[in-house]
C-alpha cells in the first residue's frame, strides 16, 4: 500500500536523515522501541500466558513504551528527513494499512464465520484490537525495516522508479 501512495503522490521513498545529529538520536529510538516490543512479546508468550503477573504487566509496559519510542523516532524522522516521505509512509503504511487490515481480518472472523468463528457482535472489539495491534507492529518493526532496507533495495535492479519495469 505505501508503494501505491509513493507512486500516486510522486514521492521518492528516501528515508535518509539530512541532519547528522538527529540521526544519532533517531536510530536508538527506533531500535530500542523495536527491541522492547519483541522482548515484551517473547515474555508474554513464554511466561505471561502461563504464569500471569508480573509478566503480563512487563509485556504491557514493554509494548507501549516500545511503541512510544518508535513514534518519537518517526517524529524525529519527519523533522530531520523529508517530511513528505515520512508523512506518506505514516498515513499509508501505518494508519491506512492497519485500518484496511483490521476491517478485512475482523470481518473474516466475525461476519463471514471463517475459522475460528466469532459472534458477529464482537466485530467492533476485534476491529479495534486488530487496528491497534497492527499500528504497534507497523510503527516499530515496520519502521526499523523500512529505514534499514530501503536504501539497499533502491541500489538493486529490483527497484522500479515508474509503475512498470
Q: Is the pTM of this model over 0.75?
A: no
pLDDT tens by residue, 112-160: 877 777 788 888 888 998 998 898 888 888 888 887 888 787 777 766 6
| Cα gap 81→75, rounded to integer Å | 10
- Burial classification of residue 115, based on how many CB atoms lie within 10 Å of its CB (0-12 exposed, 13-18 middle, 19 or more buried): exposed
Express as a percent the part of the chain with pLDDT over 90: 8
End-to-end CA distance of the chain: 18
Amino acid at each position: 500500500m505505501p508503494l501505491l501512495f509513493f507512486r500516486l503522490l510522486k514521492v521518492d521513498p528516501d528515508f535518509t536523515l539530512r541532519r547528522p545529529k538527529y540521526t544519532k538520536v533517531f536510530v536508538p529510538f527506533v531500535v530500542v522501541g523495536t527491541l522492547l516490543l519483541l522482548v515484551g512479546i517473547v515474555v508474554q508468550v513464554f511466561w505471561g500466558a502461563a504464569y500471569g503477573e508480573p509478566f503480563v504487566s512487563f509485556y504491557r509496559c514493554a509494548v507501549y513504551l516500545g511503541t512510544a519510542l518508535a513514534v518519537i523516532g518517526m517524529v524525529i524522522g519527519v523533522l530531520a528527513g523529508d517530511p513528505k516521505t515520512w508523512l506518506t509512509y505514516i498515513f499509508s503504511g501505518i494508519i491506512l494499512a492497519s485500518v484496511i487490515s483490521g476491517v478485512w481480518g475482523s470481518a473474516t472472523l466475525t461476519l463471514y464465520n471463517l475459522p475460528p468463528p466469532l459472534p458477529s457482535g464482537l466485530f467492533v472489539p476485534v476491529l479495534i484490537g486488530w487496528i491497534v495491534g497492527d499500528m504497534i507492529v507497523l510503527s516499530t518493526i515496520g519502521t526499523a525495516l523500512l529505514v534499514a532496507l530501503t536504501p539497499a533495495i533502491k541500489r538493486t535492479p529490483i527497484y522500479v522508479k515508474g509503475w512498470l519495469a
